[in-house]
Structure 1
Amino acid sequence: MKLLHIDSSILGERSVSRALSSEVVEREKWICPDLDVVYRDLALDPALHLSSAHMAAWAGAALEGARLCCDLELGQEYLTEFFEADIVVIGAPMYNFTVPSQLKAWIDRVVVAGETFRYNESGEVQTLLPRGKRVIIVSTRGNVYKADTPTAALEHHESYLKGVLTFIGVDNVSIVRAEGLAFGPDAKHTAINRARAEIAALMT
């Protein structure tokens, strides 16, 4: 059994998403002591944003520059790790109403036509991923974005991640959420405790 643990927060030790994603992984390891864990810190080792040079390389053009070569290798590692993982834990804070750019760059390496999905002759999307892959998203947000709130229309975070994962055929997606973290110490404490209860419920 393999688990891919991804963090994308730029806050280091002050990050709530990092703390909670680690708790999810520790619980999974407690359930399965032989779990093989691969860790990626996208803030410390980010992929480049896609460029015309990437597209040309994928189309078969000659590679130019060590930086591009290294980034293409990193992207292939991302893809292999995601493909092989039975469980993926993603620490995903909300930045400006969506995911961190580092996480978006990772997504651009794993949502690839011909690798994780393909279109058939009718234009339907078919997954190329192994069945049974499970993804746990640890979502952290300063504000509250529930459906009945004034900020609901600005939520392009969890909905984006779930949409992308569903598109490539991952239908087992759980969300652990801590939101309202910017509303003061008491609200932050309550939100984190609520998220920890959700983690415990996931593992039962």
Structure 2
Amino acid sequence: MNILHIDSAITGEDSVSRKLTAEIVSRLRAANPGAGVTYRDLNTGVPAIDTDWFKAVRLAPANPTAEQQALVATSDAYLREVQDADVLVIGSPVYNFTITAQLKNWLDQIARAGISFRYTEAGPEGLLKGKRAIIVYSAAGTPMGSEMDFASGYLRFMLGFLGITDVEFVAADRLAYDREAGLARAHAAMDRLAA
């Protein structure tokens, strides 16, 4: 088993999502001795896609410049980590009712037509099939699944668009109102996860 462990919180050691993703990865490794883990901390910076990225990655010039080659290499590295993973454990704290900018940038980097998805006569088809995603949803005041939650539905849809349809959530929400209850719900959800 290959595990891709992704964190995106900006709050460092105080991050609830970071603590919970680490615990999930620990449980997966305990149940699957020999599992490999690739760790990616998106808070260290994920380049946003822009016109230069589009010209380098999407248009794929025959003779790319050194700068274009670097942009392609970065995007390829993110995508390769996902392609190589059997399980993705993604920390997704909610900031301003949605996912972090870093996590959105990462999704933009790996959404590559012809590589991670393609358009067919029947509609779009995700090409990253056969993977499982466990998402830690942490929020101070945004209940998961509520009308103000623009994070969980987007993540489920976007991963499904890329072919990852086995998506489970561990929610530590409403932490500003009752932190202990929110953490207890998250740990109960972790206990229900199949290792």
Q: Is TM (by shorter chain) over 0.5? A: yes
Match of 2:187 among 174, 196, 199: 196
1:161 aligned residue: 155
Match of 2:171 among 173, 177, 192: 177
My pick for the range that moved more, 54-63 or 191-200, is 54-63
Match of 1:133 among 124, 131, 134: 131
1:63 aligned residue: 65
Point out 4+ residue stretches in structure 1 off by more than 3 angstroms: 68-72
1:40 aligned residue: 40
Contact preservation (8 Å) 2:4, 2:39: yes
1:196: Cα distance to partner?
1.1
Distance 1:84 1:137 in 2: 18
Distance 1:51 1:81 in 2: 22
Deviations 1:119-153 (A, max 9, x none): 11x25112222x42100000001114355xxxx32
Deviations 1:95-135 (A, max 9, x none): 11111010011101112111111011x25112222x42100
Contact preservation (8 Å) 1:27, 1:203: no
Distance 2:149 2:55 in 1: 34
Distance 1:124 1:111 in 2: 16
2:7 aligned residue: 7
Contact preservation (8 Å) 1:47, 1:74: no
- What are structure 2's unaligned runs of at least 5 residues? none
- Scaled by the length of structure 1, the TM-score of the pair is 0.88
Distance 1:124 1:50 in 2: 24
Distance 2:167 2:144 in 1: 18
Distance 2:159 2:134 in 1: 11
State the Cα RMSD in Å: 1.6
- Scaled by the length of structure 2, the TM-score of the pair is 0.92
Contact preservation (8 Å) 1:111, 1:117: yes
2:73 aligned residue: 73
1:190: Cα distance to partner?
1.6
Paired residues in the alignment total 192
State the secondary structure of the residue aligned to 2:37: strand
Contact preservation (8 Å) 1:125, 1:167: yes
- What are structure 1's unaligned runs of at least 5 residues? none
Deviations 1:64-103 (A, max 9, x none): 64xx654432221110000110000000000111110100
Contact preservation (8 Å) 1:162, 1:173: yes
> What amino acid is aligned across from residue 134 of structure 2 in structure 1?
I
